[in-house]
Amino acid sequence: MASLAALARTFEAGKRGSRQGREARQVREMKHDEIARAAVEGAYELHREVGPGLLESVYEVLLADVLRARGLSVERQKPIPICFRGKRFDEGFRADLLIENLVLVELKSVETLARVHRKQVLTYLRLTDLKLGLLINFGGELLKGNIERLVNGLEEPPTL
């Protein structure tokens, strides 16, 4: 009987552990749009507090801090390797922010965004095989109209 009771305790502990593991995975497995929404909300919060006109690097460190405070995993200046003609180059480029290893964020602090900025993000997405990128320009007086959502093969949510 003692071995049966021990087996039952082990089974129950396993069930609890797997439920907790599932819940932890669900937190880690946020959807692209949830992460992007958190990044955009954080960007608006930051722009309201500090305004336009600072260097891109300042917005980068502050936005990373805002997002980490929301419980997100954020890497700054993440080196992204490039493979070209069979060779791997570890310093192909650096992503300004990589959130939860799913959403790439390219920050700018310019008066107006140019087409080349969008192309840059789309190229980064293609090279990393990431599906969603945000281009955020803190240089405008208003943040509205200065945030672009760019996709690389991500299924777009249906429009209503």
The answer to whether residues 129 and 60 belong to one domain is yes
User: Same domain, yes or no, for 64 and 17?
Assistant: no
pLDDT of residue 16: 47
Alpha-carbon gap, residue 85 to 68, rounded angstroms:
37
Predicted confidence at residue 14, as pLDDT, reads: 47
Q: Alpha-carbon distance 60 to 49, whole Å?
A: 14
Looking at the domain assignment, is residue 44 inside a domain? yes
Residue 84 sits in the same domain as residue 15? no
Residue 91, pLDDT score? 77
Q: Quote the CA–CA distance of 4 and 53 in Å, as a whole number.
A: 69
Report pTM: 0.77
- Going residue by residue through the chain (160 aa), what tens digit of pLDDT does each one get? 444 444 344 434 444 444 444 444 444 457 999 999 999 999 999 999 999 999 999 999 999 999 999 999 999 999 888 888 999 888 778 999 999 999 999 999 999 999 999 999 999 999 889 999 999 999 999 999 999 999 998 665 544 3
Instruction: Give the pLDDT confidence score for residue 90 in this predicted structure.
Output: 85
Residue 143 in any domain: the answer is yes
Same domain, 79 and 8: no
Separation CA 108–CA 128 (nearest Å)? 20
Same domain, residue pair 72 and 11: no
Q: What is the pLDDT of residue 96?
A: 97
In a domain, 5, yes or no: yes
Kindly report the CATH number assigned to the domain that includes residue 81. 3.40.1350
The domain of 109 spans 31-151
Tell whether 67 and 101 lie within a shared domain: yes
- Tell how strand 74-84 and strand 147-151 pair up: unpaired
Integer Cα distance of 99 and 35 in angstroms: 7
Total number of domains in the chain: 2
- pLDDT, position 54: 96
